[in-house]
Amino acid sequence: CELFITQIIKEDAHLLFGFTSTSEQRIFELMLKVSGIGPTTALAVCSSLEPDAVTLAVKNGDIATFKRVPGIGEKTAKLLLAQLGDASFLATTSANPANNEALLALESLGFKRDAISLALSKCSSSETVSLIKEALKILKK
């Protein structure tokens, strides 16, 4: 069995969340970036909806899909669509896993998503670590 783990460290807890695929893990991590969405709600989205359904719902602006998730009402569904409805979300979920991991890693270092995407498009590597190194060289210029 292979699990993909996301660790969340808070003042009062160290939490581990396991996923069977990288696409589920990416959706979970993207949900956490939305203000007002915590790990419980993000996990509910991953449990209730397939990653492709989430991508399609964001692409189509489908509030009803998110409202089917326990704990998400009209207001939260609109918030999700507003914050995830940009083209960078769709690019993140459809690109290869190494690019996604590099993008999330560089974003966690404080770089802007647009600058990261531009830098990654200039990189030739196919492995996550190499992509991050190449992108950092481009971003520091």
Query: What structural domains and CATH numbers belong to the chain?
Result: 1-94 (1.10.150.20), 96-141 (1.10.8)
- The Cα 46–Cα 38 span in angstroms is 12
Averaged pLDDT score across all residues of the chain: 86
Instruction: Please state the rounded mean pLDDT for residues 68-86.
Output: 87
- The answer, yes or no, to whether residue 24 has pLDDT greater than 70, is yes
Cβ neighbour number for residue 136 with a 10 Å cutoff: 15
Which secondary-structure segment (H or E) carries 47? helix 39-48
- The Cα 65–Cα 95 span in angstroms is 23
HSE-CB at 8 with a 13 A cutoff on CA atoms is 16
- The Cα 35–Cα 5 span in angstroms is 22
Instruction: Provide the token pair at 44.
Output: 């509910």
- The Cα 73–Cα 63 span in angstroms is 9
- pLDDT category at 4 given cuts 50, 70, 90 is very high
- The answer, yes or no, to whether residue 69 has pLDDT greater than 60, is yes
- The answer, yes or no, to whether residue 29 has pLDDT greater than 80, is yes
Per-residue model confidence as pLDDT tens digits over 85-138:
764 555 555 456 788 788 888 888 888 888 888 888 888 888 889 999 999 999
The closest of 38, 45, 7 to 23, measured between CA atoms, is 45
